[in-house]
Structure 1
């Protein structure tokens, strides 16, 4: 019996993705119909990434980052920037996967592409919160969750979009490259447009991430 949450409960799906990712991907792939792409974004992707940004920014305010004040961006400016940049990243990855799937002989559908990308990115958004904790534990665990998210993204693209063997790695690499390129272009523009999104002095940190 497929117990995949039909109403896209964010908390339940994040927990399932972290504890039993293979089951979450398998159940999502078995769905005959999936929610429209915009519902997946509004009801699942955006709430999770928004909470991720709010909690991580709050942690940065109460945990000393070990950097001088001029090297830290404004909390509100960088928070707004993060939400917009991460939203662009989700949409960029989803539409890249959608348009590239046919090239790799898969089933191209924006609704399934958005669901696959959202499930794949859930651990990375948790990693953003964890990375706010002191070094080295915060950064180390956050990096592991990002790597875990890339693995899960590969699995969700394969399982939910129904790709044949031999075409899966190609779609994964092309999707990540195109999504990252779209995020970089628009994210760089946003960084200069939003007041407080960048620090006065950048010390060994790319604030696009």
Structure 2
């Protein structure tokens, strides 16, 4: 499979959803493009589509919440793109720097590829979560769990980890990536106008 075909966002997302292990195995056997090319060609387009689609759905499907409890569409959309991009970069550089610690490969290019593949179901989950409860939230949660499982297999297959070090790198990468995203994401929320609602009811506004 050539890189232009492999980095086609629609094709890769469909292939990962339908046959994830085969996709990871196939990608792991080829040379990875530069990390920024994977980010701009695969991760960014998919997360942009997921944000736009989810924000549009929130505007047309009643949420049952008062208007003051919903963030602004543009403000929250910009915040989501930035926060999700930080999440991708945080996970990537965590996997890159922690790879050698767990006797794997410290390779930023392959780490970005593994993280981008692993997060594809999570970005689909963002769209699913915009549908009415309980179906939207239930499907979204299942896709997030699926994404964590796929991230483990992507780190394992694309970074080439040895047995006994795979779970350690996975846990450390998720912890560090989530910590980085939380720190910067929380700061961004207070900076971008309209990213937070006037009244925060539960955690629905954080989706």
TM-score relative to the length of structure 2? 0.97
Count of residue pairs brought into register by the alignment: 205
Deviations 1:148-184 (A, max 9, x none): 0000000000000000010000000000000000000
How far apart are the structure 1 equivalents of 2:146 and 2:175?
Answer: 17
Deviation at 1:120, TM superposition (A): 0.1
Deviation at 1:22, TM superposition (A): 0.4
Paired position in structure 2 for 1:64: 62
Q: What SS does structure 2 have at the residue aligned with 1:198?
A: coil
Unaligned runs of 5+ in 2: none
TM-score relative to the length of structure 1? 0.96
Q: Is residue 18 of structure 2 the alignment partner of residue 19 of structure 1?
A: yes
Paired position in structure 2 for 1:180: 178
How far apart are the structure 1 equivalents of 2:111 and 2:162?
Answer: 16
Deviations 1:82-124 (A, max 9, x none): 0000000000000000000000000110000000000000000
Q: Indicate how the Cα distance of structure 1 residues 63 and 207 shifts in structure 2: closer, same or farther if over 3 A, else same.
A: closer
How far apart are the structure 1 equivalents of 2:99 and 2:64?
Answer: 44
Contact 2:70–2:205 (CA under 8 A) maintained in structure 1 = no
Residue in structure 2 matching 1:6, options 3, 7, 24: 3
Contact 1:73–1:199 (CA under 8 A) maintained in structure 2 = yes
Q: Indicate how the Cα distance of structure 1 residues 207 and 175 shifts in structure 2: closer, same or farther if over 3 A, else same.
A: farther
| Alignment RMSD (CA, Å) | 0.9
